Amino acid sequence: MAPRPDALDVLIVSLGSTAGLRAADEELLASLHRAGASARIVRAAPPSPVRTLMLTDLRWARAARRAACAELARTRPRALIYSTTTAALLWPAPGAIRFDAPAAANRPGRHGLWQRVVERRRLREAPLLLPQSNGALREVPAGVLDSRPSDSTLVLAVPVEPRASGLASASHQTRDAHKMSEAQQARDSHEAHEPSRMRDIAAIAYAANPAKKGLGTMLDAWRRAAKPGEELVLAGVSERRLRALGYALPAPGVRVAGLLDPERYRALLRRARVYVCAADREDYGIAQLEALAEGCVLVTTPSPGPYVALPIARELDARLVGEDLASRLRVALDDPAPDYAARAELALAPFRRAAVDRVVAEQLLPRLLA
């Protein structure tokens, strides 16, 4: 006789295609545990890269289905959460869908010909929708929400916390961090141990996806705005990768920090005065929230999408939001609002771990396990 599948409250089917998605799933798992639920993550195995977004999403959806089927063969969860609509496209069983943006918004035209059709069906069938922001909810296709009960949708943010100073041990460094040169690792190790009160980096940007993050726009703005001795640090991407993509590096006043583990990256944020971004579109913008949490001033273009940090940035200092990044960088560096960091801390209260934990314990779990 086959053994009875293990009982489980919640199984999270994680796409995990980016570091941000993996971190968000880990945060949700920890929050469920703190609420007293038994929960586990099953991750899709990364497929080999292909040229088009249509095929990329298909391969990831198949990988998510295989991972879910394998886990469901030995586990009996009371509820399923699919992390991203892509993870839910080929689901083996209905479940809640958590998403930063639907394919209806971030897969326009030929990029989402089949995804948008299947996504609409899944969003209607899911027992619970978990958009990460009100902006993501507004991007759900017209008509989908009309047929759903009012209590079948819950906005569930990704928590953001400032981190304590210090560097994780070498045994906890990510595989990507090991790809850096020994000299680069030594320099970043030194930086990570610098006192957090030292704001000796003029500006920092996260450029893991350079084209999407608007790196060309940022570099041009920095070239026009920077004064002698000021430095823009680029994190999340290697100099070799940037050169392969056609970016002219090294450039005056620009340093590529490379691929960093979270502790090293946060240590650089604590040393930076300004965080700059010019994304073509932001589905959430967790990097901007992290920068605000670590005390950076945010300079940004008004990128479209459910960009949760954009209204916060406008409220904190509207002078720093606009298409002309160069002039806004100079305002941020030369004339920052004196109470910016304190007001940013208040604005991030709904994104703190304690606030998200309350939503999970008081609203999410009762709906999932009803």
151, 293: one domain: no
152, 207: one domain: no
**What are 173-193's pLDDT values in tens digits?**
333 333 344 444 444 444 444
285, 194: one domain: yes
97 belongs to a structural domain: yes
Domains: count for the chain: 2
| Tokens at 252, concatenated | 């005056």
- Which CATH number is 204's domain given? 3.40.50.2000
Q: Residue 270 corresponds to which amino acid? A: R
The pLDDT of residue 150 is 86
Helix 309-316 vs helix 286-293: angle between axes, to the nearest 10 degrees? 40
- pLDDT above 60 (res 93): yes
The pLDDT of residue 164 is 53
The better pLDDT of the pair 78, 176 is held by 78
49, 107: one domain: yes
Measured at the CA of 342, the angle between CA 339 and CA 345, to 5 degrees, comes to 145
Average pLDDT score over the chain: 90
**What are 299-324's pLDDT values in tens digits?**
999 999 999 999 999 999 999 999 99
342, 357: one domain: no
165 belongs to a structural domain: no
User: What is the rounded average pLDDT of the residues 258-281?
Assistant: 96
Strands 6-14 and 297-300: unpaired
Q: How far apart are CA 290 and CA 235, in angstroms?
A: 13
53 belongs to a structural domain: yes
DSSP for 256-325, please give it: EEES--HHHHHHHHHHEEEEEE--S--SS-HHHHHHHHTTPEEEE---SSS-THHHHHHHH-GGGBSS-H
How confident is residue 370, by pLDDT bands cut at 50, 70 and 90?
A: confident
How many other C-beta atoms are found inside a 10 Å radius of the C-beta of residue 240? 12
144 belongs to a structural domain: yes
The pLDDT of residue 222 is 98
225 belongs to a structural domain: yes
198, 283: one domain: yes
Q: Which domain holds residue 103?
A: 6-159+352-368
pTM of the model: 0.87
Q: Which ranges of the chain would DSSP assign to H, the alpha helix?
A: 19-34, 53-72, 85-88, 103-106, 115-125, 134-138, 175-178, 182-192, 215-225, 239-244, 262-271, 286-293, 309-316, 325-334, 340-347, 353-359, 365-368
360 belongs to a structural domain: yes
364, 344: one domain: no
- Please give the DSSP secondary-structure letter assigned to residue 15: -
134, 216: one domain: no
346 belongs to a structural domain: yes
285, 246: one domain: yes
240, 283: one domain: yes
191, 313: one domain: yes
- At 174, which helix (H) or strand (E)? none
At residue 337, what are phi and psi to the nearest 5 degrees? -65, 130
Counted residue by residue, the chain has a size of: 370
Best mean pLDDT range from 11-15, 143-147, 175-179: 11-15
285, 154: one domain: no
174 belongs to a structural domain: yes
The better pLDDT of the pair 184, 37 is held by 37
